[in-house]
Amino acid sequence: MHELSLCEDLMNQVTALAKEHQAEKVVRIVVRIGPLSGIEARLLESAFTISRAGTLAEDAELVTEEQPVCVLCNVCGTESAACVNQLICASCGSCDTKLLSGDELILARVELENPD
Amino acid sequence: MCNTCGCNVTSGNRHLLFTAPPQKLVTAVSVLSNLLKHNDEQAELNRAKFDANGVLAINLMSSPGSGKTALLEATIRQLKDKISIAVIEGDLETENDAERIRAQGVPAYQITTGTACHLDAHLIQHALEHLDLAKIDLLFIENVGNLVCPASFDLGHHRNITLLSVTEGDDKPAKYPVMFRAADLMLITKTDLLPYLDDFSTEKAERCQRQLASHSPVLTLSSRSGEGLAGWLQWLEQEVGDHKARIQRQQTLRPQIQPDGNSLHIQNPETHFRPIKQVG
């Protein structure tokens, strides 16, 4: 359960961006999370309700976009969906694959409200 | 005229009801940065410090009780005359592990995290103030025993080693894919207990590891009996030598923490090698 410390890092980045853009407040924060990142979206959301208190993001909405687990086979070149503990090619069954998505832990977008 | 159906709204007073509050301007900023940016920046500084001093830093991760400290004791006994070693210990409480390491005659610094379930780059930065890196070739960081959180934090180290003791079960890589995918080397420990267990297959453990698309070497050993230690010591000595050569070429090495998929989405994908920066 390290979602709270992660959330503090997130809040630092978001409030720095808000200041940089002279925003009055943060309206929406969009993060992309893959199941192989080790972060639970649900836990991040509850940590967010604690971390946002007293910041420019106090009324912000946190949107988590969960990313699918997807691999590219180094043997046959097929791109396929995979399971978190079976990162194997769906076409030829090889374990020699490269992860295309599924381990994201990304702050994708911040929506800021500017003064009039 | 009533307050129910809206017949009290007339062309004369309509504007009072439907005047929207003045719209504020909303700007969307695309960011695409790693959520752990703050940690990762400190990790880079730690790594630059290790590299400037020619230190190879290795992060040991596993469940509590899988034999990390025992492995370090056995390793130090064998290698301390050849390689200068130091250890950073991470635990929630007590100085016990650092004392065990100091008893082997090498410096150790104990981080007690209180309630935190993992080490992070800032905790390592503080610990480094207590060690003389110029006198060290090989630094082990024994992470908090936990198969979940430590995998997500770059400490500035160069290699991740994940231990799996035979009493934990051979399907651990399938149960904790995030941790085992991060391993640069998987060590199956406590193999002296295998004769007492009829349900642990080292082949199955390795198969579970391969199903995570991991090419990490898998070594088996027992710190207690010394069985398999030679292969592990050889791997270590090779790594220390390779790292010195890498630093000569102005290169460094990152552990398997930076996720491949992640870098595909970041505007400036991170590379595995970078010029070494001198720090303070």
Spell out the SS3 assignment of A47-116.
Answer: HHHHHCCCCCCCCCEEEEEECCCEEEECCCCCEEECECCECCCCCCCCCCEEEEECCCEEEEEEEEEECC
DSSP B138: E
User: DSSP readout, B58-92?
Assistant: EEEE-STTSSHHHHHHHHHHHHTTTS-EEEEEEES
Start-to-end Cα distance in chain B: 79
The distance of B189 to chain A (nearest Cα, Å) reads 22
Please, what sign has the CA dihedral across residues B104, B106, B107, B111?
A: negative
Q: Do A37 and B178 touch (CB under 8 A)?
A: yes
Q: Which residues sit opposite B86 in a β-bridge?
A: B139
pLDDT per residue as tens, chain B (280 positions):
444 455 555 666 666 655 555 556 777 777 777 888 888 899 999 999 999 999 999 999 999 999 999 999 999 999 999 999 999 999 999 999 999 999 999 999 999 988 788 899 999 999 999 999 999 999 999 999 999 889 888 999 999 999 999 999 999 999 999 999 999 999 999 999 999 999 999 999 999 999 999 999 999 999 999 999 999 999 999 999 999 999 999 999 888 754 443 444 343 333 222 233 334 3
Structure confidence at residue A3 (pLDDT): 82
DSSP A25: E
Mutate to test the interface with A, among B29, B155, B170 (most CBs of A within 10 A): B29
**For chain A, how big is the Rg over CA atoms in Å?**
18
- C-beta pairs of B175-179 under 8 Å, 24+ apart in sequence: B175/A85, B176/B147, B176/B148, B177/A36, B177/A84, B177/A85, B177/A87, B177/B212, B178/A36, B178/A37, B178/A38, B178/A103, B178/B148, B178/B151, B178/B152, B179/A38, B179/B61, B179/B147, B179/B148, B179/B150, B179/B151
Q: Please list, residue by residue across B250-263, b when 16 or more beta carbons sit within 10 angstroms of its beta carbon and e when fewer do.
A: eebbbbbbbbbbbe
- Taking CA atoms, what residue in A is nearest to B29? A110
Please, what sign has the CA dihedral across residues B271, B272, B273, B278?
A: positive
CA atoms within a 13 Å half-sphere pointing along the CA-CB vector of B254: 18
Q: Do B27 and A2 touch (CB under 8 A)?
A: no
Q: Do A99 and B259 touch (CB under 8 A)?
A: yes
Q: A5: pLDDT confidence band, cut at 50, 70 and 90?
A: confident
Separation CA A70–CA A79 (nearest Å): 7
What is the value of pTM for the model shown? 0.80
What is the ipTM score, two decimals?
0.74
Which residues are within 8 A (CB) of A113 and not within 5 positions of it... i.e. 6 or more apart?
A23, A24, A25, A26, A27, B24, B25, B26, B27
Separation CA B273–CA B280 (nearest Å): 21
- Taking CA atoms, what residue in A is nearest to B215? A96
Structure confidence at residue B265 (pLDDT): 39
Structure confidence at residue B136 (pLDDT): 97
- Taking CA atoms, what residue in B is nearest to A102? B261
Question: What count of CB pairs under 8 Å joins A to B?
Answer: 149
Which is nearest to A33 in space by CA: A110, A108, A84? A108
Closest by Cβ to A2, choosing from B37, B149, B211? B149
In the numeric block, which tokens belong to residue A14?
Answer: 């978001």
In the numeric block, which tokens belong to residue B159?
Answer: 């290699």
How many C-beta neighbours within 10 Å does residue B148 have?
Answer: 16
- Taking CA atoms, what residue in A is nearest to B116? A2
Structure confidence at residue B266 (pLDDT): 41
DSSP H stretches of helix in B134-228: 172-175, 177-181, 202-210
How does the average pLDDT of chain A come out, rounded?
Answer: 90
Q: Do A112 and B24 touch (CB under 8 A)?
A: no
Q: Is A33 helix (H, G, I), strand (E, B) or coil?
A: strand
In chain A, which residues have their Cβ closer than 8 Å to the Cβ of B38? Answer: 9, 12-13
List phi, psi (to 5°) of B260: -60, -50
Structure confidence at residue B20 (pLDDT): 53
